[in-house]
Structure 1
Amino acid sequence: MGQQHDLLFRALLDDPVRAGILIRDYLPADIAARLGDEPPVPLDGSFVDRTLTPSWVDRLFSVRLRDGGTLLIYVLLEHKSHADPRTPLQVLGYLVDIWESFVGDDASRMRRLPPIVPLVFYHGRGPWTVPTSVIDVIGADEGLRDLLRDFRYVVCNIVPIPDDQLSSDPEVRAALLPLKYVYRQPDPEMLLEAVLSGLREGSPLAQKVLYYMLEMYPRISVDMMRTVNARVRPDREQDMVSLAAQQWLDEGHAKGVIEGKAEGRAEGKLDSIRLALETRFGLVPPEVEARLLQASPDRLDTLLRRSLTAASPDDVFADVERRQDS
């Protein structure tokens, strides 16, 4: 499950212009006002050890300030269902790693470390109750606290934010909506309407968003997605739905989901074959449906595998017929 959150969040940040929109939307207003007009520059590398903190995904950006300086924005997604109380220490560790990478073997760079603002995005079930600075979890009285400096991060808890205020950009907003509701499972058609209304035809992000919804929302099917898309976007093509559905089918998810629901029965396998053929070639013709119904139960697994890769519906059956003749 965590991998799907990662893939969608990375897709959201892959385009520097879109990443810039997200950063401006969620930075404190006084800091956002200091940013220059240029898109942020993505920097190489991840500073999260996925073996220790598999629920984190991160991206580092450099942005120019209007006064000519440079600011680093460290964007993290925490995709646990509840806030992790260790976050202040984890974020501080990532900041140290970034500065260590900046200094490298040149100790003179220690004289001017780049400022970093961490943005921690969260979409879990419960509210964010974790302190936003390691200073807040140190057992010190006020006199000692005056000697300490903040290492504070900005919490971007997207759950309580009204849908229409998630972002100033419609497509960024459409990508955040599935993350916002993934632990709440709202009305699937209403969510699809909101998401499809904001996605741009031909956008690489659109396929990732729809794939994520097929994978993470059990009540959303390819048929539902096609129906809602036709209603919300009657003047546009179904291409982005088809591409997302095809990727989902190619990776075998539809087979696992439908067969699991059908508990391995023949009807469940037939449903999987029909779904694969409809997604790849359109409505299943009556003659193809008739041939499916005539297939013996021990041949359905072969038909199912072929339906995911065959060049045409006829090729699905030709392979089986060749085996029967041999």
Structure 2
Amino acid sequence: MDMHNPHDRLFKTTWSDRNSARNFFQHYLPPDLLKLIDLDTLQLCTESFIEEDLQEYRCDLLYKTTIDGRPGYLYFLFEHKSHADPDVALQLLGYMRAIWHLYRKQEAGGARAPLPVIVPLVLYHGRNAWTCGDDLLSRFEQPATCLLRHIPNFQFVLIDLSRYSDAEIQGEALLRASLLLFKYVFTPEYRDRLPGIFALLKSLVESTTGMQYIETIIRYVLSTLEDAGGTGTLKKVVEESLSKDKGDMVMTIAETLYKEGLERGIQQGIQQGIQQGIQQGIHQGLVNAIELGLEIKFGAQASYLFASIRQLTDVDRLKAIREAIRIGASLKDIEEMIIAHQA
């Protein structure tokens, strides 16, 4: 797993667990759909349908199940781009076509086999609320009524975490903790929410398998918490949330992970840039931090952005770019932030 993309790891760890996935669908599928789906038949498939150039800010999981008494699929897409993508429905259509093609290859009957129903779901946790609609028709500009019969359309189930209160985020401990982390990771209150989120994990600490999930969550927090300062901040959070003996167990995991160099590249790059900034000025330090972070995360392919970055004079904009690199933004996202400032 690419640790430069911590969102993917937490998503796949949580929703690859059959109990967590089932629990999620029970709480977040519309009731009329839920009564048609037999979650007892839920099976995780190994296939992924995301194009290589979109893997930096999108991942997916496919579940085979029974829908209305017939074979069907739940296709779960996780959008962790910093802003809503208006082309998600169009891309979902391509993924659904690929699933149908795979089904016909694997099932008896081939091209004569009836197509299974696919229910697409999108989990989104960007900085701003989703405003791009939840169907394919919304991508067309007010077509005449007589044209509608010629336009393919479908609706996906949208779970926009910004629209859920904490009380509305339901499910068992691992599921709720993951959803709350995703909800707050891009917000200024992320650090303040961590004690309450870790408090949900008390039941997981008691089991061996639960500790595996705890490790994934610790990795996520260490990867996304600004100025983590090693495990110091996390230690305080754990002490506030768990009993001391269980807290010590969790901290042992956290310290081991940190010593292994979790997020070593980006964090050290940013810190080097900040230290240079003390000597050379805040502006130059931020530029150095960004260039180091980009080089470590993306390698030589990011070098084309360096000239544009050096021309930026807005310190707040540079800080926003530095933050975007730290929390796992894609190279395309960074480029868009620079272009938006220059426009």
Q: TM-score, normalised by structure 2?
A: 0.69
Please give the residue correspondences for 1:31-46 in structure 2 after superposition, counting only pairs within 5 Å: 31-38=33-40, 40-46=42-48
Kept after mapping to 2: 8 A contact 1:75/1:120: yes
140-149 vs 166-175, which deviates more? 140-149
Pairing 1:233–2:242 present:
yes
- Measure, in 2, the Cα distance between the counterparts of 1:191 and 1:219: 16
Pairing 1:123–2:125 present:
yes
Which residue is equivalent to 1:244?
254
> Structure 1 runs of 4+ off > 6 angstroms?
none
- Measure, in 1, the Cα distance between the counterparts of 2:262 and 2:169: 33
Please give the residue correspondences for 1:160-239 in structure 2 after superposition, counting only pairs within 5 Å: 160-186=163-189, 188=191, 190-199=192-201, 200-201=204-205, 202=208, 203=210, 204-221=212-229, 222-234=231-243, 236-237=245-246, 238-239=248-249
Which residue is equivalent to 2:96?
95
Which residue is equivalent to 1:77?
78
Kept after mapping to 2: 8 A contact 1:76/1:119: yes
Pairing 1:144–2:147 present:
yes
Q: 1:24 to 1:219 in 2, by over 3 A?
A: farther
How far residue 131 of structure 1 moved from its aligned partner, in angstroms, is 2.4
How far residue 89 of structure 1 moved from its aligned partner, in angstroms, is 0.9
- Measure, in 2, the Cα distance between the counterparts of 1:2 and 1:77: 16
How far residue 261 of structure 1 moved from its aligned partner, in angstroms, is 3.4
How far residue 152 of structure 1 moved from its aligned partner, in angstroms, is 1.6
The one-letter code matched in structure 1 to 2:195 is: E
- Measure, in 2, the Cα distance between the counterparts of 1:146 and 1:259: 55
Kept after mapping to 2: 8 A contact 1:41/1:63: yes
- Measure, in 1, the Cα distance between the counterparts of 2:151 and 2:196: 46
Kept after mapping to 1: 8 A contact 2:122/2:157: yes
Kept after mapping to 2: 8 A contact 1:185/1:217: no
Which residue is equivalent to 2:115?
113
- Measure, in 1, the Cα distance between the counterparts of 2:60 and 2:222: 24
How far residue 111 of structure 1 moved from its aligned partner, in angstroms, is 3.7
Alignment partner of 2:49: what SS?
Answer: coil
Higher relative contact order (CA 8 A, sep 6+): 2
Kept after mapping to 1: 8 A contact 2:60/2:75: yes
The one-letter code matched in structure 1 to 2:259 is: L
The one-letter code matched in structure 2 to 1:157 is: D
| Alignment equivalent of 1:159, drawn from 143, 158, 162 | 162
Residues 240-269 of structure 1, C-alpha deviations (whole Å, 9 max, x = no match) = 33223322330353586368537669xxxx
Kept after mapping to 2: 8 A contact 1:133/1:150: yes
Kept after mapping to 1: 8 A contact 2:79/2:124: yes
Alignment partner of 1:245: what SS?
Answer: helix
Q: 1:83 to 1:258 in 2, by over 3 A?
A: same
The one-letter code matched in structure 1 to 2:73 is: L
Kept after mapping to 2: 8 A contact 1:211/1:245: no
- Measure, in 2, the Cα distance between the counterparts of 1:256 and 1:264: 14
Which residue is equivalent to 1:257?
267
Kept after mapping to 2: 8 A contact 1:174/1:194: no
- Measure, in 2, the Cα distance between the counterparts of 1:13 and 1:72: 15
Amino-acid identity (%): 25
- Measure, in 1, the Cα distance between the counterparts of 2:131 and 2:270: 38
- Measure, in 2, the Cα distance between the counterparts of 1:28 and 1:110: 31
How far residue 169 of structure 1 moved from its aligned partner, in angstroms, is 1.8
- Measure, in 1, the Cα distance between the counterparts of 2:49 and 2:155: 18
176-185 vs 86-95, which deviates more? 176-185
Say which structure is richer in helix: 2
Which residue is equivalent to 1:287?
none
The one-letter code matched in structure 1 to 2:104 is: V
Q: Which runs of 5+ in 1 are unaligned?
A: 266-326
The one-letter code matched in structure 2 to 1:102 is: Y
- Measure, in 2, the Cα distance between the counterparts of 1:119 and 1:260: 36
The one-letter code matched in structure 1 to 2:72 is: L
Residues 167-190 of structure 1, C-alpha deviations (whole Å, 9 max, x = no match) = 2223211111111111113151x3
Count of aligned pairs: 263
- Measure, in 1, the Cα distance between the counterparts of 2:15 and 2:221: 18
Kept after mapping to 1: 8 A contact 2:84/2:132: yes
| Bigger Rg over Cα | 1
Q: 1:255 to 1:249 in 2, by over 3 A?
A: farther
- Measure, in 2, the Cα distance between the counterparts of 1:82 and 1:39: 35
